[in-house]
Every structure is written in structure tokens, then in C-alpha cells.
Amino acid sequence: MPIYDVQVSPPTGLRLRGAIFPVEISMPQVLIDHLTSQGVSIPQPVRGPALVDTGASVSVVDISVLRNLNISPIGVASVSTTAGIAQQNLYPARFRLPRIVIDISAVLGADLSSYGIIALIGRDILSGFLMIYHGPAGRITLVH
Amino acid sequence: MEFEEELKFFESKRMEWLEKYRDKYVLIKGKELIDVFATLEDAYKEGIKRFGNKPFFIKQVVEVEPIEKTPSLMFGIIHANL
């Protein structure tokens, strides 16, 4: 069942802007439940565009979004960088895509502000989906 | 770097833990192994229960560390156009 189907017009727009989905990023449910039980207020989810990036092995969320949501890191990942392998913090997060909620165990935090997106959807999330990228028609379909 | 102490502790124990906890997830705070879990989600739940919304360290016990790759970010080519 498609959970998202978008037609970009003209079709070349899809090549220029990429497969972009509206997402909402929030604290993971476990953390929400914990803070709620303590009477602590929960930060509002952050909404914005996310770009599907099949080249990324792991999803990435803008670091300012993670800070605004007050999500603490839960470990590190070895990440390939231009300067070699570096350790970068991992954060838990909840993604709400159109019609589906995904609690992601660990995403990377990085500065995405200059790209006009709040997240990169990597192969960790895509591993649970079928995505049809119809270039000539300028259409993308996401199926769960 | 955050988790420097935990990472050093994990590396010092990796070979020993590979024999006991291969592919499991260890929850570490400072130089203390809190517990071992089958999934990252279970480790996270326990971490939240014990430490609340404070940083704690979870790592899967594997022999070879996977290297995550985000080439578009690495090379700054997310919206490169001709």
C-alpha cells in the first residue's frame, strides 16, 4: 500500500530537487513516555523536508533539530569522512512520514541547514520500504 | 569527544565480550557495564529507565566495526547541479 505518492511537475523538477518527503521528527516514544511520567514537558515535533539519499548507509538529522528536541546521544558510529574515519554521535529519533511512524534506533547528527532539509533518509529507513523513482514521469512512490 | 571514556572501556573489553556477548548490545556508563541486551531498543529502554534523558553509551559487540557512509554529505554534493 503506497504511503506516499508525489508527482513533480515538470518531471525535470524531480531530478533537480530529488526525492523529497515531508517529515516530522520528534523524541522517540520511550523517551516521551519517560518524561511524561515525570511531568516534564515534551518539545514539539519539528516538521520539514527530508531528502531520500540511497547513497547514505544511515539516516541523518540536522543537529539543530536534535538539540531543539533535547535528545541525548546514545553512542557513536564510525563514519567515513574526507579526513578518514571519525567517530560521530548517534541519536535516537522518531520519524513520522506520511501515514507511518518509524522509531529509528540511531541516526547521525549533522549540520544540514545549508541544504534546506532537516533530514536525509538513508538505507537504514529505506530497508523497510519499496521506493519507486519514476524519472521520466517525475513521480516518486513510497510503499511500506 | 563525547563518550571517550566509554569507547575506550568498550575497546579494552571488546575481545573478551566477543566470546560472551557476540552481536548483543552493551549498555555502558563511564567504565561500568550496566547490562547486555538482545536489541538496541531494549538497551535504550533500560538506559532511559536508569539515566533518564542523559547521554549513555550503547554499542553492539561485533568483531569488525561497520563504517557508515554518507557520501553526499562528505563531499557536500547534495544539490550539485550543472
**Residue A139 belongs to some domain of the structure:** no
Nearest to A74 among B47, B65, B74 (CB): B47
Cell numbers found for residue B18: 566477543
Tell me the HSE value of B33 on the side-chain side, using a 13 A CA sphere: 19
pLDDT for B79: 66
Enumerate the domain spans of chain B: 4-63
Residue B70 has pLDDT above 80, yes or no: yes
**Residue A116 belongs to some domain of the structure:** yes
Query: What chain B residue is nearest to A14 in terms of C-alpha separation?
Result: B79
C-alpha to C-alpha distance for A24 and A90, rounded to whole angstroms: 18
Query: What chain A residue is nearest to B25 in terms of C-alpha separation?
Result: A75
8 Å CB contact of A35 and B67: no
Could you tell me if A62 and A69 are in contact, meaning their C-beta atoms sit under 8 angstroms apart?
Answer: no
8 Å CB contact of B70 and A106: no
Average pLDDT value for residue range B45-64: 96
Nearest to A34 among B48, B66, B68 (CB): B48
Distance of CA A90 to the CA centre of its chain: 13
B30 touching A, CB under 8 A? no
From residue A7, alpha-carbon distances to A12, A53, A98, A138, A141 in Å are: 11, 18, 15, 6, 9
C-alpha to C-alpha distance for A34 and A27, rounded to whole angstroms: 11
CATH number for the domain spanning A59: value is 2.40.70.10
**Residue A134 belongs to some domain of the structure:** no
B80 touching A, CB under 8 A? no
**Residue A38 belongs to some domain of the structure:** yes
**Residue A17 belongs to some domain of the structure:** no
Nearest to A120 by CA among A55, A64, A72, A45: A55
C-alpha to C-alpha distance for B69 and A144, rounded to whole angstroms: 24
**Residue A1 belongs to some domain of the structure:** no
Number of domains in chain A: 1
Range of the domain at A115: 22-127
C-alpha to C-alpha distance for A139 and A67, rounded to whole angstroms: 34
Residue B81: pLDDT band (50, 70, 90) is low
End-to-end Cα, chain B, rounded Å: 38
Please give the backbone phi and psi of residue A81, each rounded to the nearest 5 degrees, phi first.
-130, 170
Q: What tens-digit pLDDT sequence spans chain A (144 residues)?
A: 667 888 888 998 899 888 998 999 999 999 999 999 999 999 999 999 999 999 999 999 999 999 999 999 999 999 988 888 889 999 999 999 877 888 877 999 999 988 899 999 999 999 989 999 999 999 998 888
DSSP tag of A125: H
Residue B11 has pLDDT above 60, yes or no: yes
**Residue A87 belongs to some domain of the structure:** yes
Secondary structure of chain A: what % helix, strand, coil (to 5)? 20, 45, 35
**Residue A111 belongs to some domain of the structure:** yes
Nearest to B78 among A16, A51, A122 (CB): A51
